[in-house]
Each structure stands twice: as C-alpha cells, then as structure tokens.
Amino acid sequence: MARVQFDDVTKVFEDTSGPIVAVEELSLEIPDGEFVVFVGPSGCGKSTTLRMLAGLESITDGEIRLDGQPVNDMSPKERDIAMVFQSYALYPHKTVRENMAYGLKLSTDLSDEEVNRRVVEAAEMMGIEDLLDKKPGSLSGGQQQRVATGRAIVREPAVFLFDEPLSNLDAKLRKHMRTELSRIHSELGITTIYVTHDQEEAMTMADRIVILDNGQLQQVGSPKEVYYRPANAFVADFIGSPSMNFFDVDLRVESDGTGTLVGEGISYGVSEEIVDAVGGEGEYTLSIRPENLRVDPTAPPAKTFEATVDVVEIVGSDNFLYLRVGGKECRLRAPVEVEPAEGEVVDVTFDESDLHLFDRNTEEALV
C-alpha cells in the first residue's frame, strides 16, 4: 500500500499545432488506502494524470512521489502499480489463468505454485473460478472486465489505477461492478485511483472526488462536500443529475440590510447574512439544485418566483418538471403527487439555506 503525492505536476504535449497543456500544476495528496475518483469532461487530463503516475507518460514539470519517494525517473515496473484499462487489454490467445499469471511470472521469481495460488485466490474474489481455462474471446464484456481486474489483484500492487474500467458495460452491469469494485477495495485496502467521466460512479464509489477541468484542479472533497459545497460554478454544474439551475442575478441591498436577488425572471429576498457573505451589491450567479426547488403557492411572495411548466417527466420515484423562467429552462424535482398541467404557471420557492451564489466573473463560490 502507498501514499501518492502529486507536487505541482504539469504535462505539456508537443503537437503539430503547438503545445497542449494537458495537466497544469496539479498538487494533490492521496493517503494510503484511499479510494479516489478523478472526474471531469473529456480532455480534462484524467488519463494523462493516471498515465504519468503509472510511468506510461513522462512528466514535464513537478514531481510524483510514492510513499515519499520520487518516481519521475522510475520505470513502470519499478513503481509497483497495477492499471486496469477500459479496453481490458487481455491477451486473446492465452487462457484466463495465463492472462492473470503472465505479469506476475514476468516481474517476480515466485514459484509456479505461488503464482497459481494467487491466481485462484483473485479469481475467487472476482467470482471467475469457472472461467480460468477459457480464452477471453469466449467471455462476455463483464467477465472480461473481471479478468482484467483479477489480473491487477494478483500482482498485490501498492496502488491500483482504473481508467474508465466500466464504460464498455451496459448500465445494469456497470452498477453491479461498481459495488464489486468497492467491495474489493474494502477487502484489500489498496490505494486506488479511478478515472471516470460518470459523476454518478464518482459519487457512489469515492472516498474523495478530484474534479478536473482543462488540466486544472477544480476541487477535491468527499462526495457530500463537492455536492453540497461546490467550490465554483464548474463543479456545481458538473456534479448532480439533473444538473443545477443557474441564473444571472443582481443583488439589491434594502434599507434594512436585507437583500433582493433580481434577474432572469427571479426576484428573491435574502437575509442580511447572505448580503454580508457576498460582500454587498453586485452581479452574481445564483444556483439551486432541482431537488431544492418546490412548487408552493402558499410561500410568501418575496420568496417565490413564477414559472411556466413546459414538460412533466414521470420517472417513477419523482416527477421532473421542466419549467420556463424569464425565457430560461429550469429543472425541478418534485414528489409524484406534484403533477401540474403543461402550460400552467406555478409558484416556485426554495430555502435560502439551499441557495449557492458564485462571483459572476471568477465563478468562485461565495455562499
């Protein structure tokens, strides 16, 4: 097991069109045994970060350390890291047993008995004992995924890296494998870094989530922290489904010190605490999660805005209301009994404690 540190790590690719900064001054410490998930949109630098740690990509600047020891100049083999790829990368002509044993035989001088013992143990852990003498071509995607993970387990590495390991599986199997991988992690306690662009996967599996955009670190925190306290508008927008609602508003300060947020069809009274927290009048971005909005004709007018119902989507457990406010779409998650007619005008409210305000220019969270 190992502690992983990124210290001001930068990766620049030299492309024919010029330099591409894939990762910019990334600093991050991952304690021993933690399950960390990297998320972010396509091209944000997730895979490059993982590949630098695995030794598959050189580091342009900065330092990566494993248990305090710099690894920049170490070969992939010396790093004691096992990586599971999206493509599984299994050898088609070898059996499952041979696939799982291959890396171990190559990199250690363990006896055949010991190698076989570890292969069988990992196969049992992944529930693939019956497949050991089959070839990958005759296995389903889910089974191949298990073999690829089993092969990583066999090595008993200091760190596990997973690069979108479940993206080739169907939705149901993906959910099942998430639970499996979380179980394996709690059994083995090996430091794990897992890359995905699926924020639901990140929320359900991670001890901590690392959110990247454009090669830059946006926030590191527990699933709850990044959900309830997004550090900036990017994180607020990226985490949560359906995604947050955003409105450009101006804050007007009233004579009693309270305020009113006005803009894009909204006029919402806020307390003095909010006014103080943002630092007075100015332009802000108000955001609120769909589940924090509610249809409530009895709410006081100063805490309400009007919206027109565009579409009501019945998903079973809830109703998703797609509303129009000041020409803008707004999503609201309501209990099943709230089912207004399409075209109806409804009063919508929310609690001040659920509102987020971001600086309109820097997009940093203020409230």
240 binds ligand ATP (CB under 6 A): no
336 binds ligand ATP (CB under 6 A): no
73 binds ligand ATP (CB under 6 A): no
Residue 314: both structure tokens together: 């019945």
219 binds ligand ATP (CB under 6 A): no
Kindly state the smallest distance separating residue 165's Cβ from ligand ATP, in Å: 13
Q: Which phi-psi region, left, alpha or beta, contains residue 266 (left: φ > 0; alpha: ψ -120 to 50)?
A: beta
Site mask, ligand ATP, residues 13-52, x = CB under 6 A? x-x----x-x-----------------x-xxxxxxx----
Q: What is the DSSP letter of 151?
A: H
Closer residue to ligand ATP (CB): 211 or 288:
211
Kindly state the smallest distance separating residue 169's Cβ from ligand ATP, in Å: 17
First to last CA, the chain: 38
Output phi, psi for 125, to 5 deg: -60, -35
Kindly state the smallest distance separating residue 81's Cβ from ligand ATP, in Å: 17
Closer residue to ligand ATP (CB): 208 or 289:
208
CA distance 203 to 219: 14
Kindly state the smallest distance separating residue 17's Cβ from ligand ATP, in Å: 10
85 binds ligand ATP (CB under 6 A): no
Kindly state the smallest distance separating residue 21's Cβ from ligand ATP, in Å: 8
Ranges of H-type helices in 137-232? 141-154, 171-188, 199-205, 223-228
Closest CA to 46 of 157, 172, 165, 175: 165
Closer residue to ligand ATP (CB): 46 or 185:
46
Q: Which residues contact 218 (CB under 8 A, 6 or more apart)?
A: 40, 211, 212, 231, 232, 234, 235
CA distance 199 to 236: 12
Kindly state the smallest distance separating residue 317's Cβ from ligand ATP, in Å: 30
Q: Is 170 helix (H, G, I), strand (E, B) or coil?
A: coil
Closest CA to 30 of 62, 59, 66: 66
228 binds ligand ATP (CB under 6 A): no
Closer residue to ligand ATP (CB): 197 or 252:
197
Kindly state the smallest distance separating residue 73's Cβ from ligand ATP, in Å: 20
Percent helix, strand and coil across the chain, each rounded to 5?
30, 35, 35
Closer residue to ligand ATP (CB): 197 or 360:
197
Kindly state the smallest distance separating residue 42's Cβ from ligand ATP, in Å: 3
199 binds ligand ATP (CB under 6 A): no
Kindly state the smallest distance separating residue 62's Cβ from ligand ATP, in Å: 16
167 binds ligand ATP (CB under 6 A): no
Closer residue to ligand ATP (CB): 201 or 330:
201
Closer residue to ligand ATP (CB): 21 or 325:
21
Q: Is 316 helix (H, G, I), strand (E, B) or coil?
A: coil
Residue from the set 3, 94, 135, 197 that interacts with ligand ATP by CB under 6 A: 197
350, 304 Cβ separation under 8 angstroms = no
CA distance 245 to 236: 9
**Which residues sit at the interface with ligand ATP, rule CB under 6 A?**
13, 15, 20, 22, 40, 42-48, 197
